[in-house]
């Protein structure tokens, strides 16, 4: 009952995606991501390789207790070992134990991998494919066959490669997924080979012909293009991962692929109302796997619809089509007017609107703000990446920045001078102790507070002292944590006397905000940014609470 | 005299690349990148938009003093303003003042942008294109015409779009570059449209037909694919940026495009021996712009050829083709496998040679150095851009690092706490006084020295104190000055407790050298780098003096 132009999205973030260097998922992480993908309307979610590690087995067990709402969760496994009956193979047994409706089984398409990797002969590999699938079918499973190294295999020995697909079809595979495992293919090669396979399938005159799928890697920066071209040649399953996570250079990025397919080519991949959850899903997954989101990611990145420059901004406001390939809200993203020294009054107006602040173009404050902005950017401030600081600046000009606390100053003392022996060595293993002491003076409700704290380095000491002083008044501060800290030296010709610009990013687990500090003194610049980051977080939290209260009362 | 399959690479990192949010380049940064691209063999380097900002004018002026070796540096500008003679147009005058051989002029192809953006009529836009190019030609410039929004314009109004190209051809443009400015095109659309334009050009029967170029953006994650498909349809200029930097989601990434074109399609883009500099160029540019390199970048990323898993590794070692789409060394990258490998040792040998140090492959020191290097890079050190520190490390292992001085430790005290009124304000005009005091303890010839100095910020105070202590022994220190100081936070998830890596560049007016420091304490990391920078300068100066003495005596 699926529409003519239906494509099936197959997510492998939990299996192939987790092969990315530096990414590791707990069972809990995997469950969270699976439920989020289920909400997004992804029809197939590859959960892992049961038996390959204990986590994956637990994941399937837990999902049996609390099943997903609509998605098929799929177990992944390899063909049986050479010369071993399928019914006695441990990896097949583990895949069956996951008790999923669908199993994805991968086999070798490339003769080189059969002889050099598996160290068996070509006909045994065909039996391995046939036997494994037939056994899974006997046990009631539906089978997706991943033809590993398909394209390299086909280019090297097309006759043999086609025989591997034949074995899978005879055994009852319902999907044949053509894999560019090494990520080396170019789009015109994918077009030619998928077309050939599709035509060959047609010549078989099968009653229930298997469908084709595509699985691509990004080693040539072409994973999205290669998947797209395969879809245009008739592949109806598209495999990929959220944010393109995966081994080496990653897998095909579903966050780009899905909108390309659905918004530009008219395929039906996700329920239309779900597509607007894409940007949030991308960010959610990056939070769960604890990797910084790529701000420049197509469609879903923070900068994907960011505009700078006055004329440019006024054009995009009059007609978004002039500088935007799609409507950002279609994928749940937003247009961002970037504040920079090229800013005109249009930028200021657009920013005020996005902050939910009322500001009229004729209000003299608008022009004063623009002047102030240009002046500060001349000094070396940069608000392009520090929107929270800019919002505070704007609120101040509009008398909408309540005083949470006032900063009076700080002292920092830092000692790296033990007795007798050198401490400056390449291996900073001696640095695990706190070596810095900070004292801060802040005022809340007109009352001066003096607090001191230690830290591993002066910036940490300052952060600790500041929280110590403020947490009695604002216990919600503990929800904020620093997620990024960037330092740049301006006017580098001035050497150590140059100005330092610090950008600090905070998060409360849901939202992120960035503030800026500037000073010739790196500690002061850091302190400014941290102070504003905490202030902004408090301000946002309070306004949310207030909005909720108003909503309840009305 | 170029080969049949020649493609001209046109780098716009310095202009379009610098539109990336958060990226800002000094004149010095721009010169460094231009020289590096020149070394790489890039034939066209777009230097900037003279007149749009003062920096770009200075850049061209400085290049006239010290020209590049082989690359054409190109000035970028827009067409003249509506109803204003070209000879009186300030933007054209500024482009001419750059005194380059080539100028890239962009004009509007999309009727919507003419009427809504420029707010003029369609025929005036044609005159603007014609007049501007004709004027530049009169003034002796060769012209590349960037047809902005070409693809959107062509899809919206093909007749008008073609008229804009006609105007450019009649006026004498030598290249027509088709731009996907909004980055929304899909490869099959690019194929069709470039093919149509190419065929149309053929029907004109021109004596010297202009050539076609392609300029793509990555908003659909297809910039590389779109440029590739245009090249296959006959475009012979490919525009892009190093690391794909650019506005929103970036430009076509030359680090992926070049190897795709050269290694896989047999085009001639760079001199073959230069292609092996690609990975180092990518890293160098990311250091200069102070953005973390993308470890997962195709071809040039640290993880691009990283292998995990036992079977996988042994297969790749037996036959790399099984899991690698190209030989990593072809782009100057390395296969990364956990066990120590020959590639690493070759690097050590190559480095030793470049430092003029004798080191044999069979010398156990070589392998120890490799181990030490891997261990330090694991910690977060990075020697790619800090060769001076690496040379010191190597000299130490070879017992060729004389002890100039020993560092015993330091103390820093920093106060920003006057009485009564807040000091943390946006305008740091109160910060011109020294606010930091540093004490350092160093030993020269076994004698401990304790010196203190003030500074505007803690790093300057440390620098002052160190020089005060050492200058009595090494008066030549006053010749060295800091020319750059970069800070990066590693492991940013740890917030203010994360490790800090500092790169410091010194100069003595003739040579420059860079050192690295690493610590969770930003002051210690800075101090390490400054100390090594001074040491390295002294070492070099003394060895030069010695070489001169030897030369005189012999």
Q: How many CB atoms lie within 10 A of CB B446?
A: 7
Are A350 and A441 in the same domain? Answer: no
How confident is the model at residue B244, as a pLDDT?
Answer: 98
Using CA atoms in the order A279, A283, A289, A291, what is the torsion angle rounded to 10 degrees? 120
Which strands, in side-by-side order, build the sheet including A447-455?
A447-455, A436-444, A406-416, B406-416, B436-444, B447-455
CA dist., res. A171 & res. A129, Å (int): 8
Residue B171, CB half-sphere, CA atoms under 13 Å: how many? Answer: 33
Asked if pLDDT for residue A424 goes beyond 50, the answer is: no
Structure tokens at B216: 């793509």
Residue holding tokens 């830092």? A414
CATH of the domain at A438: 3.30.160.270
Q: What is the mean pLDDT of residues A243-269?
A: 97
Contact A492 B26 (CB under 8 A): yes
Candidate from A413, A422, A521 with C-beta closest to B435: A521
Structure tokens at A230: 């395969």
Contact A296 B249 (CB under 8 A): yes
Inter-residue contact A228 to A254 (CB < 8 Å): no
Give residues with Cβ within 8 angstroms of A160, minimum separation 6.
Answer: A111, A122, A153
Are A113 and A15 in the same domain? Answer: yes
The answer as to whether B371 is a domain residue is no
The answer as to whether A423 is a domain residue is no
Strands A142-148 and A175-180: parallel
Contact B524 A489 (CB under 8 A): no
Asked if pLDDT for residue A214 goes beyond 70, the answer is: yes
Query: Which stretch, A85-89, A289-293, A309-313, B346-350, has highest mean pLDDT?
Result: A85-89
How confident is the model at residue A348, as a pLDDT?
Answer: 83
Candidate from A182, A492, A521 with C-beta closest to B325: A182
* Chain B residues within an 8 Å CB radius of A455: 496-497
Contact A324 B182 (CB under 8 A): yes
What are the two backbone dihedrals, phi and then psi, of residue B364, each rounded to the nearest 5 degrees?
Answer: -55, -25
Are B264 and B295 in the same domain? Answer: no
Q: CA nearest A427: which of B440, B397, B519, B494?
A: B519
* Chain A residues within an 8 Å CB radius of B250: 296
Inter-residue contact A461 to A454 (CB < 8 Å): yes
Contact A232 B381 (CB under 8 A): no
Candidate from B184, B265, B416 with C-beta closest to A326: B184
How confident is the model at residue A411, as a pLDDT?
Answer: 92
- Which of 93-122 (A) contact B at CB < 8 A? 110, 112-113, 116-117
Q: What is the pTM of this model?
A: 0.76
Candidate from B20, B298, B417 with C-beta closest to A221: B298
Are A319 and A412 in the same domain? Answer: no
Task: Please state, in angstroms and as integers, the Cα–Cα distance from residue B236 to each residue in A172, A189, B210, B261, B268, following that order.
Answer: 48, 21, 11, 11, 10
Structure tokens at A417: 């001078």
Among A16, A310, A496, A520, the strongest candidate for a mutation testing the B interface, having the largest count of B CBs within 10 A, is A496
How confident is the model at residue B310, as a pLDDT?
Answer: 47
Contact A409 B431 (CB under 8 A): no
A-chain residue closest to B246, CA distance = A296
* Chain A residues within an 8 Å CB radius of B429: none
The answer as to whether A147 is a domain residue is yes
CA dist., res. A503 & res. A522, Å (int): 11
B509 touches chain A (CB under 8 A): no
Domain boundary among A369, A397, A425: A397
Candidate from A21, A225, A422 with C-beta closest to B222: A225
- Which of 388-427 (A) contact B at CB < 8 A? 393, 406-418, 421-424, 426-427
CA dihedral sign, ordered B229, B232, B236, B241: positive
Are B465 and B316 in the same domain? Answer: no
Q: How many residues does chain A have?
A: 554
Helix, strand, coil percentages in chain B from 3-state DSSP, rounded to 5: 45, 20, 35
CA dist., res. A250 & res. B262, Å (int): 22
Structure tokens at B479: 């010749």
Give residues with Cβ within 8 angstroms of B419, minimum separation 6.
Answer: none
- Which of 362-391 (B) contact A at CB < 8 A? 376, 379, 381
* Chain A residues within an 8 Å CB radius of B521: 414, 416, 431, 435-436, 456-458
Inter-residue contact A489 to A474 (CB < 8 Å): no
The answer as to whether A428 is a domain residue is no
CA dist., res. B122 & res. B102, Å (int): 27
B308 touches chain A (CB under 8 A): yes
Helix, strand, coil percentages in chain A from 3-state DSSP, rounded to 5: 45, 20, 35
Among A416, A436, A450, A500, the strongest candidate for a mutation testing the B interface, having the largest count of B CBs within 10 A, is A416
Q: CA nearest A522: which of A540, A493, A550, A498?
A: A498
Inter-residue contact B305 to B324 (CB < 8 Å): yes
The answer as to whether B281 is a domain residue is no
pLDDT band per the 50, 70, 90 thresholds, residue A491: low
Query: How far off is chain B from A181, nearest CA to CA, in Å?
Result: 8
Are B320 and B198 in the same domain? Answer: no
How confident is the model at residue A336, as a pLDDT?
Answer: 80
Packed helices A187-203 and A158-171: angle between N→C axes, nearest 10 degrees: 50
Are A390 and A411 in the same domain? Answer: no
B208 touches chain A (CB under 8 A): no
CB pairs under 8 A between A and B: 388
Inter-residue contact A271 to A41 (CB < 8 Å): yes
Tens digit of each residue's pLDDT (9 = 90 or more) over B307-336: 765 456 667 767 888 889 999 999 999 887
CA dist., res. B134 & res. B142, Å (int): 10
* Chain B residues within an 8 Å CB radius of A508: none
CATH of the domain at B44: 3.20.20.70
Inter-residue contact B13 to B37 (CB < 8 Å): yes
B478 touches chain A (CB under 8 A): no
CA dist., res. A506 & res. B204, Å (int): 59
Inter-residue contact A177 to A161 (CB < 8 Å): no
A546 touches chain B (CB under 8 A): no
Q: What is the mean pLDDT of residues A169-176?
A: 98
H helix or E strand, kind and range, residue A501: strand A500-507
How confident is the model at residue B70, as a pLDDT?
Answer: 97
Query: How far off is chain A from B288, nearest CA to CA, in Å?
Result: 11
Contact B264 A422 (CB under 8 A): no
* Chain A residues within an 8 Å CB radius of B460: 495-497, 520
A-chain residue closest to B440, CA distance = A417
Are B254 and B333 in the same domain? Answer: no
Structure tokens at B484: 């750059």
What are the two backbone dihedrals, phi and then psi, of residue A180, each rounded to the nearest 5 degrees?
Answer: -100, 80
Q: What is the mean pLDDT of residues A249-276?
A: 97
B258 touches chain A (CB under 8 A): no
Q: 3-class DSSP state for residue B518?
A: strand
A262 touches chain B (CB under 8 A): no
Inter-residue contact B517 to B501 (CB < 8 Å): yes
Using CA atoms in the order B140, B144, B149, B155, what is the torsion angle rounded to 10 degrees? 110
Candidate from A249, A318, A489 with C-beta closest to B486: A489
DSSP 8-state symbol, B50: B
Are A442 and A384 in the same domain? Answer: no
The residue among B470 and A422 whose pLDDT is bigger is B470
Are A496 and A381 in the same domain? Answer: no
The answer as to whether B283 is a domain residue is no
Ramachandran bin of B248, using left for φ above 0, alpha for ψ from -120 to 50, beta for the remaining angles: left
Ramachandran bin of A285, using left for φ above 0, alpha for ψ from -120 to 50, beta for the remaining angles: alpha
The domain in which residue A136 lies consists of: 8-270
CA dist., res. B255 & res. B299, Å (int): 7
Query: How far off is chain B from A511, nearest CA to CA, in Å?
Result: 15
Query: How far off is chain A from B143, nearest CA to CA, in Å?
Result: 25
Distance of CA B220 to the CA centre of its chain: 24
Identify the bridge partners of residue A517 per DSSP, sorted by sequence position: A502
How confident is the model at residue B553, as a pLDDT?
Answer: 60
Tens digit of each residue's pLDDT (9 = 90 or more) over A534-549: 999 999 888 777 766 6
Contact A487 B487 (CB under 8 A): yes
Strand (E) positions, B69-119?
A: 72-78, 102-108
Are A387 and A413 in the same domain? Answer: no
Structure tokens at A345: 């009054």
Are A140 and A218 in the same domain? Answer: yes
CA dist., res. A291 & res. B296, Å (int): 13
How confident is the model at residue A551, as a pLDDT?
Answer: 62
Mean pLDDT of the residues in chain B: 88
B-chain residue closest to A420, CA distance = B408
Contact B264 A186 (CB under 8 A): yes
Contact B296 A249 (CB under 8 A): yes
> What percent of chain A stands above pLDDT 70?
91
Query: How far off is chain B from A93, nearest CA to CA, in Å?
Result: 22
Q: CA nearest A233: which of A286, A197, A275?
A: A197
B54 touches chain A (CB under 8 A): no
DSSP states of A43-97: SEEEEE-BTTBHHHHHHHHHHHHS--SSPEEEEEEEPPPTTS-GGG-HHHHHHHH
Q: What is the mean pLDDT of residues A22-31?
A: 83
**What residues of chain B score a pLDDT lower than 70?**
1-3, 308-314, 317, 337-344, 346-347, 378, 384-385, 417-434, 491-497, 547-554
Domain count, chain A: 3
């Amino acid at each position: 009952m699926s529409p003519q132009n239906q494509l099936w999205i197959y997510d492998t973030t939990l299996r192939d995606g987790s092969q990315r260097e530096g990414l590791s998922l707990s069972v809990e992480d995997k469950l969270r991501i699976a439920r989020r993908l289920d909400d997004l309307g992804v029809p197939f979610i590859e959960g892992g390789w049961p038996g390959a590690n204990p986590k994956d087995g637990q994941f399937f067990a837990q999902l049996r207790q609390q099943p997903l709402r609509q998605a098929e969760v799929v177990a992944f496994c390899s063909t049986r070992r050479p010369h071993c009956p399928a019914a006695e193979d441990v990896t097949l047994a583990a895949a069956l134990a996951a008790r999923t409706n669908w199993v994805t089984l991968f086999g070798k398409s490339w003769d080189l991998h059969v002889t050099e990797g598996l160290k068996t002969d070509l006909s045994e590999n065909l039996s391995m494919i046939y036997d494994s699938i037939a056994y899974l079918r006997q046990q009631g499973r539906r089978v997706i066959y991943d033809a590993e190294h398909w394209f390299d295999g086909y280019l090297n020995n097309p006759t043999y490669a086609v025989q591997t697909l034949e074995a899978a079809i005879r055994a009852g595979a319902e999907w044949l997924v053509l894999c560019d495992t090494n990520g080396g293919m170019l789009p015109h090669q994918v077009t030619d080979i998928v077309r050939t396979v599709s035509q060959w399938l047609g010549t078989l005159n099968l009653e229930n012909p298997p469908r084709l799928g595509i699985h691509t890697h990004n080693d040539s920066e072409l994973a999205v293009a290669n998947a797209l071209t395969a879809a245009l040649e008739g592949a109806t399953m598209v495999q990929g991962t959220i944010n393109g996570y995966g081994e080496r250079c990653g897998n095909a990025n579903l966050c780009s692929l899905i909108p390309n397919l659905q918004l530009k080519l008219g395929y039906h991949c996700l329920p239309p109302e779900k597509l607007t959850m894409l940007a949030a899903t991308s960010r959610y997954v990056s939070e769960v796997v604890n990797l910084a989101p790529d701000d420049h990611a197509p469609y879903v990145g923070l900068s994907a619809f960011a505009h700078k420059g006055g004329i440019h901004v006024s054009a995009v406001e009059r007609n978004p089509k002039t500088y935007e390939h799609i409507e950002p809200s279609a994928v749940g993203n937003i247009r961002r007017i970037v504040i920079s020294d090229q800013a005109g009054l249009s930028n200021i107006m657009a920013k005020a609107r996005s902050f939910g602040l009322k500001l009229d173009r004729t209000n003299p404050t608008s022009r004063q703000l623009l002047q102030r902005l240009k002046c500060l950017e001349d000094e070396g401030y940069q608000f392009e990446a520090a929107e929270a600081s800019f919002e505070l600046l704007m609120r101040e000009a509009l008398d909408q920045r309540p005083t949470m606390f006032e900063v009076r100053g700080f002292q920092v003392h830092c000692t790296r001078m033990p007795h007798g022996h050198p401490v400056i060595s390449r291996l900073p293993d001696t640095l695990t102790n706190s070596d810095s002491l900070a004292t801060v003076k802040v005022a809340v409700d007109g009352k001066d507070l003096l607090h001191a704290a230690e830290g591993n380095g002066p910036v940490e000491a300052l952060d600790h002292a500041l929280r110590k002083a403020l947490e009695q008044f604002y216990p919600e501060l503990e929800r904020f944590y620093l997620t990024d800290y960037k330092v740049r030296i301006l006017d580098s010709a001035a050497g150590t006397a140059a100005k330092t610009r610090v950008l600090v990013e905070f998060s409360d687990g849901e939202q992120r905000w960035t503030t800026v500090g500037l000073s010739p003194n790196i500690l002061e610049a850091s302190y400014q940014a941290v102070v504003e980051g905490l202030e902004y977080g408090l301000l946002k939290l309070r306004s949310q609470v207030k909005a909720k209260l108003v909503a309840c009362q009305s």
